[in-house]
Every structure is written in C-alpha cells, then in structure tokens.
C-alpha cells in the first residue's frame, strides 16, 4: 500500500516539475527540448531522482547544470504545490531511454537483422515504406 502512495507522489512530482520547467528563465534549460521520463522518490520522501531526457545530446550537460542550479527554486515551488511533510531534495540524472528505444525500433525494422516469425509475412509491405 505504501508503494502505491509513493507512485502517486512520483506522478504528482513529475507533473508539477514539467509545469515548472516551462517557467524557468535559465537559457541553458530553455535552449533544449527537455522531457522528464521518470521520477523516483525514496520511501521517506527525502530524496527524489528526476530522470531527464534532452532532445539535443550536445546540450545535455548544460541542461543538467542549469537544472541543478535551479534546484533550490524548483524544490521551493514543489513544496508549495504538493504540501508534503518533507519536500524531497531533487537529483537530476540524464536518461537516454528514448534514444535507446529509437535504436531498438530501428534494429527491429531492419530486414537484414530481423527475420519475420512467419515466412508467409515476408512479402508484406509496411505503411511506412
């Protein structure tokens, strides 16, 4: 039952931070397309890992520095919105799961690497092609 509560809190933190990211005036964060892929708070709600994905990988380190710099502001605003006993300390971590998923999709669509499970489907043309 406690894990369900933490899951709901994680979703609320993710939703609130996504709204707060749009309000940040730091040019390092504004310059790149930033997405929150996952939020993981500890059971005591003292710490929260925020997994962030950046569209342009060359700006990833700058975006993470900008988010770390704005961490105090984000934590204060998060505490005002969520009304928890403890507002978690935010730790921003780069996440490349979106790029990894795109790579897997590319590999699966390559006919030289993946053979169809049913040989009768070999001549089927997909809509994308």
Question: Within 13 Å and on the Cβ side, how many CA atoms surround 39?
Answer: 23
pLDDT tens per residue, range 18-74: 999 888 888 888 776 888 999 999 998 899 999 998 888 888 888 899 999 999 999
The mean pLDDT value of the chain amounts to 84
The third-level CATH classification (topology) of the domain covering 2-115 is GMP Synthetase; Chain A, domain 3 (3.30.300)
Q: Yes or no: say if 62 and 33 are a contact pair by the CB < 8 Å rule.
A: no
Specify whether the CB–CB gap between 67 and 20 falls below 8 A: no
User: Which pTM value belongs to this model?
Assistant: 0.75
Domain boundaries, the chain: 2-115
Closest CA to 40 of 52, 58, 24, 29: 52
């Amino acid at each position: 039952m406690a894990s369900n509560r933490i899951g709901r809190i994680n979703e609320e933190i993710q939703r609130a931070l996504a709204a707060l990211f749009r309000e940040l005036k730091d040019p390092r964060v504004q310059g790149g397309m930033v997405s929150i892929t996952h939020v993981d708070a500890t059971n005591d709600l003292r710490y929260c890992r925020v997994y962030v994905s950046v569209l342009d990988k060359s700006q990833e380190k700058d975006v993470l520095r900008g988010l770390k710099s704005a961490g105090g502001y984000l934590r204060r605003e998060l505490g005002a919105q969520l009304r928890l006993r403890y507002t978690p300390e935010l730790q921003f971590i780069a996440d490349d799961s979106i790029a990894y998923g795109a790579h897997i999709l590319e590999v699966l669509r390559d006919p030289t690497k993946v053979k169809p499970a049913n040989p009768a489907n070999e001549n089927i043309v997909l809509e994308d092609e």
